[in-house]
Structure 1
Amino acid sequence: MKEALKFYKDFPKEGIVFVDIIPLLQDKKIFTQIISEIGSRLTAPNIAAPEARGFLFAAPLMVAKEEVQTVIPLRKSGKLPYNEGDLCDVEIEKEYGSDHLFYRLSDVAASATEGNEIHISILDDLLATGGTAEGVARSMMAQRIVKDGKEYRVVIDEFIFLVELDFLKGAERLEKIAPVKSLIHL
């Protein structure tokens, strides 16, 4: 799998080496292996997936792994329709600046529950500094979700990444919240 990755120097800005995971989607055998490996690491019935590459690997798990019940999309500004009071704004710190992602409380409420908890795995393509995953996790864990008159708390079971840039030590930051499970280490 590692051999299929492509690297682009100084993208999206100078000093950054962009890790392109798109070639993993261009080989059915590799893609099937990735979905299988992610599925073997996944313990939660609900997946939170930041756009856009997180979606590409989360959605197939709804079919490939029977236990997966829900995918919660996290979108960039202006991409997610919502009703008043339903949208959560997550400020995230990336290795090249801050940004915002958004999710709907109603999407979290649609998740499978266990007791008074909603268990979620956060799945993304790349772990660099951990800012995106940490922002999403802390925001979701701070929510109290009401469903059918009952209140639920969100529990992050794990973080799963296709690629982890070990030298940036993002896993150390995230392991204070939940285990980090990465397929490829660079």
Structure 2
Amino acid sequence: MIETKIKQVVRDVNDFPKAGIVFKDITPILKDAVLCGEITTALAMQLSAVKIDVVAGIESRGFLFGMSLANLLNVPFVPIRKAGKLPYKTIQQSYDLEYGSATLEMHEDAILPGQHVLIHDDLLATGGTVVAASKLIEKLDAVVAGYSFIISLDFLNGKDRLKAFSANNFALASY
């Protein structure tokens, strides 16, 4: 089962990025090309009933499997980046962090009105970043088709925040 394989490889890093946090590090997955392929295939299988025109990956770990997933689904990939990282005209969405705020952006011509966009990231925690990404999609009059994650930290209830945008929320491994 893919969840078991993921959990065997993901590394816990204590007190990162700050004391009291146990960071789920997916980078050991990247050393296993077969597992990477299995993850991409499993994500695509979970999404088989969802209409997807575009995959949008959230910087930076959302790029790792988001692009592969888009290729497998034969749809375009769009990067959602931290502010100031994209060279062309952008739209922005700010969101609150535990200490301060952050801003995501994407090119204003990246997605067409009415397109169904899957948002992909490596991990769902509280959902703040993903909600901001969802608002970016809606600013372009597109539809949030759903979400895909490698890991969901269910105890942080991030899924609840995403229901307002789409009921299609998939994660391969839950903690």
* TM-score (structure 2 length as normaliser): 0.88
Give the counterpart of 1:9 among 14, 17, 24. Answer: 14
1:41 offset after TM fit, Å?
A: 2.4
Task: Map 1:45-60 to 2 at 5 A.
Answer: 45-60=53-68
1:93–1:38 distance in 2 versus 1, CA, 3 Å: farther
Q: Secondary structure at the match of 2:18?
A: coil
Equivalent in the alignment of 1:148: none
Once structures 1 and 2 are overlaid, which stretch shifts more, 35-44 or 50-59?
Answer: 35-44
Between Structure 1 and Structure 2, the one with more helix by share is 2
Q: Which has the larger radius of gyration?
A: 1
| Structure 2 runs not aligned, ≥5 long | 1-5
Equivalent in the alignment of 1:180: 169
1:84-127 C-alpha deviation (Å, 9 max, x unpaired) = xx311121334565321111111123xxxxxx611000000010
The answer to whether structure 1 residue 103 and structure 2 residue 106 are counterparts is yes
1:62 offset after TM fit, Å?
A: 3.4
Q: Which amino acid aligns with 1:17?
A: V
Q: Give aligned-pair identity as a percent.
A: 35
Equivalent in the alignment of 1:157: 145
Task: Map 1:18-97 to 2 at 5 A.
Answer: 18-42=23-47, 43=50, 44-66=52-74, 69-82=75-88, 86-94=89-97
Q: Tell whether the 8 Å contact from 2:104 to 2:132 is kept in structure 1 after alignment.
A: no
Q: How many residues align?
A: 166
Q: Tell whether the 8 Å contact from 1:95 to 1:128 is kept in structure 2 after alignment.
A: no
* TM-score (structure 1 length as normaliser): 0.83
* Aligned-partner Cα distance in 1 for 2:22–2:99: 11
RMSD value over aligned CA atoms?
A: 1.6
* Aligned-partner Cα distance in 2 for 1:24–1:155: 31
